[in-house]
Structure formats: C-alpha cells, structure tokens
Amino acid sequence: MKKAAKNEAPITLAIDAMGGDTGPQAVVDGVALAVRHGLKAHFLFFGDEAQLRPLLLEAGLTKNAEIRHADNVVAMTDKPSHVIRRGRETSMWFAMMAAKEREADAVVSCGNTGALMALARLQLRMIEGIDRPAISALWPTLRGRSLVLDVGANVEADSNQLVQFAIMGEAFYRALMGVEKPSVGLLNVGAEDLKGHELIRSAARVLRESVPDMAFKGFVEGDDISKGTVDVVITDGFTGNIALKSAEGAARLVGTWVKEALAGTINAKFGAIFMMPGLRKLKDRIDPSSVNGGFFLGVNGIVVKSHGGANARGVASAVDMAASLARKPFRDEVAETVKSVRRRQHQNVETQEAKQPVKAAAV
C-alpha cells in the first residue's frame, strides 16, 4: 500500500463492528491484523461500547481508534425496507452516516447485504448516470485475480445496466490493481457472437460501438473466470452470485480432500511433513478469506461488504481494500464514461436515421 502524501489528511474508516455472524470479535481482530501488516488509518468503530472497549484494549487499537456507541444492530434477517424505516439507531446506519457526512472515507461491514446496499443508496446516492449498483468480487485465477460483477445486488439486469457494470468494473479494476487498460468480457453460455439471449448480445454491441477505448474481448464462459481469460467479467447478480458461491464451495471441497488424503495413512502423514511449505501456499491460494470483500459499485462513496462469517484474515482483506480505494477518483471516471457512451449512442441513432431513405409523400 502506498503511503499518503504529506499534504493529505489521514484515511478514516467507518467500521460496522456489530454486523456479521460472529459478532465484534472477528471484526476487531481483523482490523488489528490489517494494522499489524502496515495499514495506517484512523478507525471509527460503531456498536455496543461495553462489548467493544475491552476488545480494542486487548487488540492494542486504542491509539488510532474511537468508539461510537449504537444501541441496536441490523440482523441478518431484517428486510432492507424495515432497516430504512426503523434502523436509525443501528451501528450500520451510523457507519454509513459517517461516510455521508465526510467524517469517514470508507465504510466496512460484515452485516446484512441487502440492508447495507439500501442504506448506501439512501444516504450516499448513486453516481450520475448509473441506474443500479453492483457488487463486485475479486476472484483468484491462474493469472492472478479477476473482478466479477454483479455477484448479488441485482437478480436481473438489462443490456444498458450490463454496459454500466462493464464501465464501473473497468474503472474499479484499474484503480485497485493498477492495470492501465483492463480486458473486459461478458459472461455467456458460449464465446460465439450468436450465443446467449438478446439482452447480452445487445450489451456486447453497445460496448463495441460506443466504448471504443475499452479492451472489450466479447463473450467468455464460466471456466474462463478461473482461467483469468479477462480481467473483468460482467454478468447479472443472479448468475454471478451462484458462480461465486459455487467457487467458494469448490475451494473448501478441495481443501477438505487434501486434508483427508494426507491423514489417511502413516506414509501420507510422513510425506505431508515434507510437503508442508507447498501445502501452506496452496491453502492460502484457495482460502476465500484471502480475497474477501465485495465492493459496492455505483454509489457515491466507498462501501466494502465483508462476508458475514469472515474470520480475522477475511476482515483484514476487506479493510485493506477499503483503505486502498479511499483516495482513488474512479467514480468521476465512471460518470464521465457513462455520459460519453450516451452521447455516442445518440449520435449512432441519428446517423442511422439519416441513412434511412426518404419516403415519397402519398398523392
């Protein structure tokens, strides 16, 4: 992570400490782990002060953190509409308010995804020209890491929204990974141009015709995600979420099989001793916690959603992502690109209309 320039204010992160399946312990431990690994930031922990204070003391976070008490917590079962109406005294609400009022540069939460998205849209608003937000996820691949979106914010997406996802994903990947011109692909049932439904084929046409500066590679298939065929993979939230959960399940399955194989016989256990360095490397690469953190693209702010059951390593990954993006101006780039695409689409329509033959008036 790059050090902040001398004339820059330090980064402040708002932490929804009460969200998640395991309570504040994993959240505090994750922030402490990120700090031990070199993260320099100020932290606002929102939640029950009686629970948080001893945890911060134990983790050694008292110097660069403060607690903002919140009486209530957004439960995983709460509906977003209920949270909007009655969730104003929750840790999630106050954390989002800190970002809205520019007291914090980013928000990190392990809590209810739907509620977090609803509060982000309500308080931070959408980037101009973006219809719907999308949740992005980093994916370990043979080439490094790819970005997949949407992985859960929208069950359906029309062609215009898929185009917007592509624009947001490209800008986000460039800001996060430092790749000047990321390659982009649309997830489809086949790589051929005639495959898939009309919505995805329409999105492909728009990306080719109206976003000439994008390295759009056309359609990619499911196995292309793990291959790292492109840097950014675009799909709707229904498909993306199933793909994400399937990949996480497959990673855990492989990990379990490896453990069983090495514990089966005396020879296997003896061989595992010599294989230990390689096994640790394999474990790190397939552990979903190593790339934990879904970013909410499309809202006017930095919001990172950690898995509800994330351990300290997973929370640290999400916190690191939020901090690294806090100073990146990619949201302005997204707004300008969306405007440019709409201008080109309008010009293309006018050109097509001008080419139509003029019909003779009826006598």
- Residue 219's φ and ψ, nearest 5 degrees, are -90, 145
Q: What is the pLDDT of residues 7-24, one digit of tens each?
A: 456 899 999 999 888 789
Domain with CATH 3.40.718.10 in the chain: 10-129+298-327, 131-291
In angstroms, rounded to a whole number, what is the distance separating the alpha carbons of residues 44 and 48?
13
Return the CATH fold of 10-129+298-327: Isopropylmalate Dehydrogenase (3.40.718)
In angstroms, rounded to a whole number, what is the distance separating the alpha carbons of residues 226 and 51?
41
- Give mean pLDDT, residues 116-130: 91
> Between helices 159-177 and 198-210, what is the axis angle to 10°?
50
In angstroms, rounded to a whole number, what is the distance separating the alpha carbons of residues 96 and 119?
7
CATH code that applies to domain 131-291: 3.40.718.10
Mean confidence (pLDDT) of the chain:
84
Number of Cα atoms under 13 Å in the Cβ half of residue 295: 33
pLDDT band with cut points at 50, 70 and 90 for residue 269: low
pTM summary value: 0.81
pLDDT of residue 3: 45
- Give mean pLDDT, residues 190-207: 89
Q: What is the pLDDT of residues 77-122, one digit of tens each?
A: 889 898 888 878 899 999 999 999 999 999 999 999 899 999 999 9
Residue 45 pLDDT greater than 70, yes or no: yes
pLDDT of residue 213: 87
pLDDT of residue 231: 95
Residue 345 pLDDT greater than 90, yes or no: no
Residue 27 pLDDT greater than 90, yes or no: yes
pLDDT of residue 162: 94
In angstroms, rounded to a whole number, what is the distance separating the alpha carbons of residues 187 and 203?
11
